[in-house]
Structure 1
Amino acid sequence: MTGGVETIGRALLGEATDAVTVPDLGRALSDELGRLVPHDGYVLAGLDPLARASCLFTKEHGYNEVSERRMAVADAEAHDVERLLAGSRVGIRVGHGHRVRLGNVTVPEGFGGELRIALTQARVAWGGLILVREKGSSPFSADEAADADALAQPLAAALRRFVAGMPLRPSRYSLSPGVAVVGADDKVTSATPSAHEWMRLLAPEATTTDEGDLAATVWNVAHLARRAGGQALSRIPTRDGWIALHGQLLEGPEAGAVAVTIQPAPGRTLLPAVSVWYGITTRERAVLEEVLEGLPTKHIARRLDLSPHTVNDHLKAIYRKTGVNSREELLTGLA
């Protein structure tokens, strides 16, 4: 990266460090990127790096829920994420039925063009950013696509820094686990009271939890469970702790119905994703798994054929990466 692209790349990391909420992050990344690639709206989604399910979502002047879901289904069928991981990280769509570089659907009504950026780094898909322009605006150019492509990895690093900047802490959520049944029409057909509360937390901008404003993360898990013909999982990072969403396709007369369980993420469910987000190495994770078993340092050293000094060094690295100060804080953060 050179010149303006390099400057903006550094600024993106600073903005991610300062952002407190997901909407804060979306606006900050959009503002910085807009200095090189002007746009009228955006949709930002983070992905669980292992399950490839949506784990954070925000937008401003973006598509409505119906269009987002229609395009997500089309993208999944076209394997857009795999294409972007294999080659260029950027694709352009234009409206009015013109030829597109990715997928086979046009930009929804009211918009004239779309530029989508796969936020990939080290062969991991961390999320995606869609920039849109209103109908009548100039389409995104090849030069703008090249600038966006150069910023794809800094954007991915910024998204990862935002998540990894949340210290690993015990969940502050007092809600009991909730279960919502999402029908084939993507509406909630039944739910426990706690599930409604969870969905309000996941989609605070929504006015209801049983109509079109169903939280994007909940819809995504239900969609992926249908697509997989069984189950899907996402781990949601928040400042008040991690939330686990588990979708399971139901058997019975209503084809496509999915039960989505929402609860604070248990440690064993959380550990694989945390290891990726926080950059925990294979050796560090092996130590961490033994810590979760409650073993003292000497026993861990014998099991892993390491010296106690090396085990402690690995623990110090884990503490630094996850923002905790002791084994007790680490254990409570993964409780």
Structure 2
Amino acid sequence: MTVPDLGRALSDELGRIVPHDGYLLAGLDPLNRASCLFTEEHDYSDAAARRMALDDAAGAERHPFERLGAGPANTGVVGAGHRHRVRLRNVSVPEGFGGEMRIGLTHARVAWGGLILVRERGSRPFSAAEAAHAQTLAEPLAAALKRFVACAPLRPSRYSLSPGVAVVGADDKVASATPSAHEWMRLLAPAASSVDERDLTATVWNIAHLARRAGGQALSRVPTRDGWIALHGQLLEGPEPGAVAVTIQPAPGRLLLPTVSVWYGITTRERAVMQEVLQGLPTKHIARRLDLSPHTVNDHLKAIYRKTGVNSREELLTGLA
């Protein structure tokens, strides 16, 4: 299953009780809420989606995803009957939409993503009853998103590209980039897209936006069929405020282990064992360092293998290399 397949599956499941004309699905790095997967169908343009993301971060949205992800209410409706008509008039209506529902995808108290449903102008707005129905599906849909990532066995990256660096200007265009960065950005673009060389994919734009918002740096680890990709954004010093350098590369183990532990449900003790394995230590040494018996270490390793879909220590090491 691909990311677009996942988006269509979640949309179809919701569409049985909450009909809609389009959707936008974003998966989040569970450690820092950076975008790590993205797909859409008949939804907002890139410019409108970015404006909404900026408004969301600034607290100008009626239903910000940070609040929806925290619960207890995971759904929110934007429509003609609500007080935030300005956003509807200035953003949604020019895009051809007359109603919007937002759903925070939270499971086991972790925000895994967000989903936006839209209805075209002239359609009836989303109702409170439909929002209540969507609320009942928010956690199962979040669990499905988590499974989509965690059901893929941990395997070594198949990417042979060298790390790339792109400089994103304050205008959210690529000011300069290494050849490998252009290749990485093409890999991160949706399969059907054919964007200009200066345009940004949603994931690259998001990491630049987060670096600006944090006043320094931001990190995202992106799961793909060919391995995990790390994006690191760093605010640049210089004459142009807001310029961000984005480094794109296969995710190394030191960056991958924390997020893989959350996606795959690795316990704190299992993660400690994994950290020692990454150091190349044998079982007896791991047992001494963690004050465990070798038998207990082996039990933890078996649980790790089962959760990550590997069969041996060697496969685990290469998957995190």
- For the 8 Å contact 1:92–1:100, the answer to whether it is kept is no
Deviations 1:278-314 (A, max 9, x none): 0000010011111011110011111111111110110
Structure 2 partner of 1:239: 225
Cα distance in structure 2, aligned partners of 1:155 and 1:100: 27
The answer to whether residue 51 in structure 2 is matched with residue 51 in structure 1 is no
1:77 Cα shift? 1.2
What code does the residue aligned with 1:130 have? I
Any gaps of 5 or more consecutive residues in structure 1? Answer: 1-19
Cα distance in structure 2, aligned partners of 1:57 and 1:82: 17
Structure 2 partner of 1:4: none
User: What is the DSSP-based 3-state SS (H/G/I as helix, E as strand, rest coil) of the residue aligned with 1:24?
Assistant: helix
The answer to whether residue 99 in structure 2 is matched with residue 99 in structure 1 is no
Percent sequence identity is 79
What code does the residue aligned with 1:145 have? A
Structure 1 partner of 2:17: 36
Q: TM-score, normalised by structure 2?
A: 0.94
- For the 8 Å contact 1:196–1:209, the answer to whether it is kept is no
What code does the residue aligned with 2:3 have? V
Cα distance in structure 2, aligned partners of 1:166 and 1:87: 30
Cα distance in structure 2, aligned partners of 1:299 and 1:100: 60
Structure 1 partner of 2:195: 208
Q: How does 1:141-290 map to 2 (within 5 A)?
A: 141-203=127-189, 204-212=191-199, 214-290=200-276
User: What is the DSSP-based 3-state SS (H/G/I as helix, E as strand, rest coil) of the residue aligned with 1:126?
Assistant: strand
1:100 Cα shift? 4.4
Q: How does 1:61-100 map to 2 (within 5 A)?
A: 61-78=42-59, 80-84=64-68, 85-95=70-80, 98-100=82-84
After TM superposition, the runs of 4+ consecutive aligned structure 1 residues lying more than 3 A away are 209-212
User: What is the DSSP-based 3-state SS (H/G/I as helix, E as strand, rest coil) of the residue aligned with 1:242?
Assistant: strand
1:98 Cα shift? 4.1
What code does the residue aligned with 2:66 have? E
Cα distance in structure 2, aligned partners of 1:235 and 1:184: 23
Cα distance in structure 2, aligned partners of 1:100 and 1:210: 36
The answer to whether residue 123 in structure 2 is matched with residue 132 in structure 1 is no
Superposition RMSD on alpha carbons, in Å?
A: 1.4
Cα distance in structure 2, aligned partners of 1:90 and 1:308: 48
Q: 1:209 to 1:175 in 2, by over 3 A?
A: farther
- For the 8 Å contact 1:245–1:263, the answer to whether it is kept is yes
User: What is the DSSP-based 3-state SS (H/G/I as helix, E as strand, rest coil) of the residue aligned with 1:243?
Assistant: strand
User: What is the DSSP-based 3-state SS (H/G/I as helix, E as strand, rest coil) of the residue aligned with 2:159?
Assistant: coil
1:32 Cα shift? 1.3
Cα distance in structure 2, aligned partners of 1:100 and 1:304: 54
Structure 1 partner of 2:108: 122
Q: TM-score, normalised by structure 1?
A: 0.90
Cα distance in structure 2, aligned partners of 1:77 and 1:140: 25
Cα distance in structure 1, aligned partners of 2:196 and 2:5: 23
- For the 8 Å contact 1:209–1:215, the answer to whether it is kept is no
Structure 1 partner of 2:4: 23
Cα distance in structure 1, aligned partners of 2:83 and 2:141: 27
What code does the residue aligned with 1:82 have? E
Cα distance in structure 2, aligned partners of 1:127 and 1:309: 38
Size of the alignment, in residue pairs? 312
1:105 Cα shift? 2.9
